[in-house]
Chain A
């Protein structure tokens, strides 16, 4: 083995085609400021919470038992996080719509090509002025290059059409005002095409895109959903769904016959007759960072406030609910420091209504067939 070989191959790997970045500097600023406020708040409330939290922590391996009866319902249902769909007037041969996901206010629609890594990504920005142009691959600042209207709508390239100076192979991004005050972006990631062909594809896809009202459908429905949880990301893909909240709650469902999904662990308990895996962190200090994978799965090495409940083979699906300690970015203290939940952690918000087990028992699992899914996953 030579070190130059390894260096070269690491660079090749890092500079392969990548999906559009989702890094938002403004969001980092907002979260950073919020974390500063939280730190000040933590210093006041944390000691009092420690005793209460430790007293009710469940141990792994035991059936957690019935949840407390009290439920604090939301005054109104949490709205469906993804309410729009795209219709495509034209797509290249072999491409079909695959999924749509919400991340920090932007909705990503992915169209994939069978047996290929090629994809079309259409990003729909929140209503309002066009977002900043940002950067192209290889850290090239994006420049707006005017073009004639596309499908009768204002548009511009983010840089000269490929292979413009500084672009990566196969990169082409077109901003389009799909509706008044509703900007989006069309990007095709497919290598091996000529610049002329890539440009033609992007323009033709963009010209045919129409936004229609069509809420995403999810394979579950939860009643009594807490009002204080704020949706951070959602994904609706064939047969699966993932939803995450800024307070640290995660909800993931996979078909039970997908045995290698990331949440599939050896059952250690049962819930209502279903095999389940339940793990609850009990550490009130931040665990060391040199633990083995096995050690990291021990409750005493997992931060309090972190819990995982996966219930398997429920109406043909595996249901995994999780809460995380330190859900707010930027506030994880170093190993050995005292780590205690604050009232805005999901573990604390869910506690009055029975925690993750209570949430699971208020969930109806609709199965892996999309025709049975619902557009109203969160009920009050």
Chain B
């Protein structure tokens, strides 16, 4: 199997997983697709090194997170370029997932990334620090502040976490 074939097989098998992580990072399916598309392109550029990593999934997840953080820095011009989402559903009662989405969106990007990596991807503090390119202390700080903010936001919505 050639390197391109290995890459294609790997990315195809991980697309949905990456898309879900991306969605939690950005709360928008269109943008999540953009993030994953960019991340897998970047992964292709680094494929020789990535394919030799101890954990290819961890490597790929780090690429995705850094694409997300990089977009915060340089990608503001691309926000919400597509308006194809259906109208919001009428809310007839509490929707826990939507409230969590709103609460996540209110977090600073690095805090949000810390929450997603720690509690959705079940990564250790050390691995999260590697993915975010910061110290373990910073991860603890991001996580603590994020949880405080989430708790406050969800309590305001009447469905405390």
**What residues of chain A have their CB less than 8 Å away from a CB belonging to chain B?**
1, 3, 5-7, 9-16, 18-19, 21-29, 31-32, 35-36, 98-99, 101, 103, 108, 110, 112-119, 134-135, 137-139, 233, 235, 237, 240, 242, 244, 248, 250, 252, 261-263, 286-291, 296, 302-303, 306, 308, 322-326, 329-330, 332, 335
Do the beta carbons of A139 and B16 come within 8 Å of each other? yes
Q: 1/0 per position for B61-94, CB-CB distance to A under 8 A?
A: 0000000011011111111111111111110000
Do the beta carbons of A24 and B37 come within 8 Å of each other? yes
Name 26 interchain pairs, CB-CB below 8 A, sorted by A. A1-B150, A9-B100, A14-B20, A14-B21, A23-B36, A23-B40, A25-B11, A28-B43, A36-B45, A108-B84, A112-B86, A117-B87, A139-B17, A233-B81, A237-B83, A242-B83, A250-B81, A252-B81, A261-B80, A262-B79, A286-B74, A289-B133, A302-B74, A329-B42, A330-B44, A332-B74
Number of contact residues on B: which range applies?
35 or more
Which residues of B have CB within 8 Å of A114? 87
Q: Does B38 belong to the interface (CB within 8 Å)?
A: yes
Which residues of A have CB within 8 Å of B100? 9-10, 12-13
Do the beta carbons of A1 and B147 come within 8 Å of each other? yes
Q: 1/0 per position for B22-42, CB-CB distance to A under 8 A?
A: 011000011001001110111
Do the beta carbons of A10 and B116 come within 8 Å of each other? yes
A32 touching B45 in the complex, CB below 8 Å, given contacts A10-B100, A21-B16:
yes
Do the beta carbons of B44 and A115 come within 8 Å of each other? no
Shortest CB-to-CB span from B6 to chain A, Å, is 12
Do the beta carbons of B84 and A323 come within 8 Å of each other? no
Do the beta carbons of A99 and B83 come within 8 Å of each other? yes
Do the beta carbons of A101 and B147 come within 8 Å of each other? no
A5 touching B16 in the complex, CB below 8 Å, given contacts A32-B41, A101-B82, A296-B73:
no
Shortest CB-to-CB span from A225 to chain B, Å, is 18
Do the beta carbons of A22 and B11 come within 8 Å of each other? no
Which residues of A have CB within 8 Å of B80? 261-262
Which residues of B have CB within 8 Å of A252? 81
Do the beta carbons of B74 and A325 come within 8 Å of each other? yes
A13 touching B24 in the complex, CB below 8 Å, given contacts A252-B81, A296-B76:
yes
Nearest A residue (CB) for B10:
A25
Which residues of A have CB within 8 Å of B16? 21, 135, 137-139
Looking at the complex, which one of A12, A21, A302 makes contact with B33 (CB distance below 8 Å)? A21
Tell me the complex Cα distance, A288–B73, Å: 8
A-B pairs, top 3 by smallest CB distance, nearest first, are A32-B44, A322-B77, A14-B20
Most chain-A CB neighbours within 10 Å: which of B17, B21, B87, B115?
B87
Looking at the complex, which one of A6, A16, A27, A31 makes contact with B119 (CB distance below 8 Å)? A6
Looking at the complex, which one of B77, B86, B104 makes contact with A98 (CB distance below 8 Å)? B86
Interface residues of chain A: helix, strand, loop or mixed (majority): mixed
Q: Does B55 belong to the interface (CB within 8 Å)?
A: no
Shortest CB-to-CB span from A237 to chain B, Å, is 5
A289 touching B81 in the complex, CB below 8 Å, given contacts A10-B116, A32-B45, A135-B12:
no
Nearest A residue (CB) for B110:
A290
Which residues of B have CB within 8 Å of A27? 37, 41
Do the beta carbons of A116 and B86 come within 8 Å of each other? yes
Looking at the complex, which one of B41, B73, B83 makes contact with A235 (CB distance below 8 Å)? B83
Give 15 A-B pairs besides A10-B24, A13-B23, A233-B81 with Cβ atoms closer than 8 angstroms: A1-B147, A1-B160, A10-B116, A11-B120, A13-B24, A22-B33, A25-B12, A25-B40, A32-B41, A114-B87, A116-B86, A118-B86, A237-B83, A262-B79, A303-B74
Nearest A residue (CB) for B16:
A139
Tell me the complex Cα distance, A240–B85, Å: 13
Most chain-A CB neighbours within 10 Å: which of B19, B74, B122, B160?
B74
Tell me the complex Cα distance, A287–B74, Å: 8
Q: Does B52 belong to the interface (CB within 8 Å)?
A: no
Looking at the complex, which one of B4, B15, B24, B72 makes contact with A23 (CB distance below 8 Å)? B15
Q: Does B140 belong to the interface (CB within 8 Å)?
A: no
Do the beta carbons of B82 and A235 come within 8 Å of each other? yes
Which residues of A have CB within 8 Å of B43? 28
Do the beta carbons of B90 and A115 come within 8 Å of each other? yes
Which residues of A have CB within 8 Å of B110? 290
Tell me the complex Cα distance, A101–B80, Å: 13
Do the beta carbons of A23 and B86 come within 8 Å of each other? no
Nearest B residue (CB) for A32:
B44
Do the beta carbons of A110 and B78 come within 8 Å of each other? no
Most chain-B CB neighbours within 10 Å: which of A110, A302, A332?
A332
Do the beta carbons of B90 and A1 come within 8 Å of each other? no
Nearest B residue (CB) for A252:
B81
Q: Does B8 belong to the interface (CB within 8 Å)?
A: yes
Tell me the complex Cα distance, A286–B74, Å: 9
Shortest CB-to-CB span from B153 to chain A, Å, is 12
Tell me the complex Cα distance, A18–B119, Å: 21
Most chain-B CB neighbours within 10 Å: which of A139, A233, A296, A335?
A139
